[in-house]
Chain A
């Protein structure tokens, strides 16, 4: 079985530009999570979906960040007007069960660099 697929693996944007990151969860998984990883802040929760419905976006920076899950096979994280502090590895993960198991399957991440 293929794991969680994230594209692009690397993205470089200029300050003020938009960045869209894509995630394809493992087929049959009910929950999709987005995390951000940096050296300073570590692994930070951003948002998650259960059966495509947004459940908790408490970690999302307001105004510029948005996430969607239009169908069960992909989710997107969009960052508008990117800033240098948005530079990070953005990790998508999926989970088989609807319940809160804490058993996440992560993709390899999308490394965003904002110049």
Chain B
């Protein structure tokens, strides 16, 4: 049972466009949602995160939009750059419960110039 789902599996955008990566979850107890960025040959690195009490979190060109009622969130990358080409993982955790961070399947983003 996949508790965190991501779509699309892969996405290609042109340089300068906005990339939108989607994520949904099943467990209502999840209250913290980090996104991780992974380049080939490296481990995932924390990019940006949002708490369930917020509906938006911005950090430069990266913005998370969160809809608690629908159990959905999305990562928007504005002015996409070739250096943003990577795999992005949505993750979820219940900070009051287990420390186990649950990851989605990932979205492979390619930014073409």
In the complex, the chain B residue whose C-beta lies closest to that of A106 is B43
A22: Cβ under 8 A from any B Cβ: no
Those of A7-48 within 8 Å (CB) of chain B: 31, 33, 35, 42-43, 45, 48
Q: Is A99's CB under 8 angstroms from B95's CB?
A: yes
B residues neighboring A (CB under 8 Å): 32, 34, 36, 41-46, 49, 89, 91-106
Given contacts A42-B104, A93-B43, contact A100 B99 (CB under 8 A): yes
A73 to B103 Cα, complex, angstroms: 26
Q: Is A109's CB under 8 angstroms from B98's CB?
A: no
Q: Is B103's CB under 8 angstroms from A42's CB?
A: yes
Q: Is B101's CB under 8 angstroms from A45's CB?
A: yes
A103: Cβ under 8 A from any B Cβ: yes
Q: Is B43's CB under 8 angstroms from A56's CB?
A: no
A residues neighboring B (CB under 8 Å): 4, 31, 33, 35, 42-43, 45, 48, 50, 55-56, 58-59, 91, 93, 95, 99-109
Given contacts A108-B42, A109-B43, contact A101 B100 (CB under 8 A): no
- Of the candidates A45, A101, A106, the one whose C-beta lies within 8 Å of that of B45 is A106
Given contacts A45-B101, A48-B99, A48-B100, contact A101 B44 (CB under 8 A): no
**Is the contact region of chain A dominated by helix, strand, or loop, or is it mixed?**
strand
A107 to B92 Cα, complex, angstroms: 20
A55 to B101 Cα, complex, angstroms: 14
Q: Which 8 pairs across A and B sit closest by C-beta, in order of nearness?
A: A106-B43, A43-B103, A102-B93, A100-B99, A100-B95, A42-B105, A102-B32, A45-B100
A98 CB to closest chain B CB, in angstroms? 9
Q: Is A50's CB under 8 angstroms from B43's CB?
A: no
Chain A residues near B102: list those with CB within 8 A: 45
A10 CB to closest chain B CB, in angstroms? 11
